[in-house]
């Protein structure tokens, strides 16, 4: 009995040391299509990145929507106030919806980007193989991912917008900053919004979202690929340089399209705004931009942008690192090699 147990233990240790156990797990995915592996890798990367920056994402939404008691505070003061009134759990309110949205969103974004790029290279070779292809493929992928996951983003925004004093530290009569009825969760938000206005209500704000995501997603991939062309060949595989290029691409792309993100957030919570806060309904993205500049000032178009800068770097870094690690573990062919095989 002892000898058989020792033999089993010895074989297990040997397989762990020489990597045969891990190899067996990876070989399980050998028969899985590449696009499915890309979905898995992208979804995992998105979940890790989104959870890591959830507190900053919550504060950004509160600043964007001019939530009472927060719109005049800075980042640190907002974090302290949120911690005081809702505790640590307050930092992650709406993160369930955010992760639930980001997993399919990131999965679809990465996978469709790869597929759109291959399709463009196969059918429109006159465009070439440069960053322009990444601009078109990234834009199309961003639009596809948004259309498929927008109701979850709407739910995430409505949950994050609610500020409820769970610690009883606010003054009597101000136990809730905003007047709207509290939502109990993702499902509750979607059900109530659907009852209020059907499918159309679930996609309220989709206009500025698409207008913003199409150039943002395209610019992100375009700038990333363009920056990589200036990296010396011997450093092309450096994860640090790839993360740096990705972070810069995210920062520049976000800056150009951020005002549309502010319009989208305000359109999503219009029904929740008390009349005292001037809950004006915007009929279009352009009308929203004009109204915000006229009533709230042009600076409101960039409310929360500093937080976006702070969160975008670690988010991109974690996202790219996790995606690269998952691609390596799942043995996904390098993107350029995959295209070369496809076009051949």
List of residues 6+ apart from 1 with CB closer than 8 A: none
Read off the pLDDT of each residue in 91-111 and give the average, rounded to a whole number.
83
pLDDT value at residue 280:
60
Q: pLDDT by residue (tens digit) across 206-249?
A: 877 787 788 888 888 888 878 878 888 887 777 788 778 878 88
Q: With the C-alpha atoms ordered 261, 266, 272, 273, is the resulting torsion angle positive or negative?
A: positive
Domains of the chain in start order, with CATH, are 33-343 (1.50.40.10)
Give mean pLDDT, residues 168-189.
59
Name residues whose C-beta falls within 8 Å of residue 106's C-beta, 6 or more positions apart in sequence. 42, 43, 45, 46, 47, 49, 145, 319
Mean pLDDT is lowest, of 28-32, 82-86, 255-259, for 28-32
How would residue 13 be classed by pLDDT, with cut points 50, 70 and 90?
very low
* Residue written as token pair 């390596």: 328
* DSSP string across 222-268: HHHHHHHTTS-GGGTT-HHHHHHHHHHHHHHHHHHHHHHHHHHHHHH
Residue 52 vs residue 175, higher pLDDT: 52
Which pLDDT score, from 0 to 100, does residue 139 have?
93
Residue-wise pLDDT tens digits, 267-321 = 766 665 554 444 566 666 677 788 888 888 888 888 878 777 777 777 877 777 7
Kindly report, residue by residue over 130-165, the tens digit of the pLDDT. 778 889 999 999 999 999 888 888 887 777 776 555
What pTM does this model have?
A: 0.67
């Amino acid at each position: 009995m002892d000898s058989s147990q020792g033999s089993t233990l010895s074989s297990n240790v040997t397989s762990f040391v020489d990597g045969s156990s891990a190899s067996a797990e990876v070989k399980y995915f050998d028969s899985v299509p590449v696009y499915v592996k890309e979905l898995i890798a992208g979804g995992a990367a998105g979940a890790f990145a989104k959870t890591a920056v959830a507190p900053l994402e919550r504060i950004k939404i509160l600043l964007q929507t001019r939530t009472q008691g927060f719109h005049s505070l800075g980042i640190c003061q907002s974090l302290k106030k949120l911690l005081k009134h809702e505790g640590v759990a307050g930092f992650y309110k709406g993160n369930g919806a955010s992760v639930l949205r980001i997993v399919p969103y990131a999965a679809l974004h990465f996978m469709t980007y790869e597929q759109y790029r291959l399709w463009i290279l196969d059918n429109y070779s006159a465009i070439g193989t440069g960053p322009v292809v990444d601009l078109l493929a990234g834009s199309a992928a961003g639009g596809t991912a948004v259309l498929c996951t927008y109701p979850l983003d709407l739910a995430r925004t409505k949950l994050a917008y609610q500020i409820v004093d769970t610690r009883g530290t606010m003054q009597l009569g101000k136990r809730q900053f905003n007047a709207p009825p509290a939502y109990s969760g993702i499902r509750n938000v979607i059900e109530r919004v659907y009852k209020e206005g059907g499918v159309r209500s679930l996609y309220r704000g989709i206009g500025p979202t698409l207008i913003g995501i199409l150039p943002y997603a395209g610019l992100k991939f375009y700038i990333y690929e363009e920056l990589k062309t200036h990296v010396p060949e011997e450093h092309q595989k450096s994860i640090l340089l790839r993360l740096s290029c990705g972070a810069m691409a995210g920062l520049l792309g976000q800056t150009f399209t951020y005002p549309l993100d502010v319009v989208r957030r305000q359109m999503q919570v219009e029904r929740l705004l008390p009349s005292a806060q001037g809950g004006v309904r915007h009929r279009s993205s352009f009308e929203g931009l004009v109204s915000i500049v006229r009533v709230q000032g042009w600076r409101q178009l960039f409310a929360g942008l500093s937080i976006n800068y702070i969160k975008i770097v670690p988010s991109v870094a974690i996202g790219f690192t996790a995606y690269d690690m998952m691609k390596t573990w799942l043995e996904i062919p390098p993107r350029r090699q995959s295209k070369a095989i496809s076009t051949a």
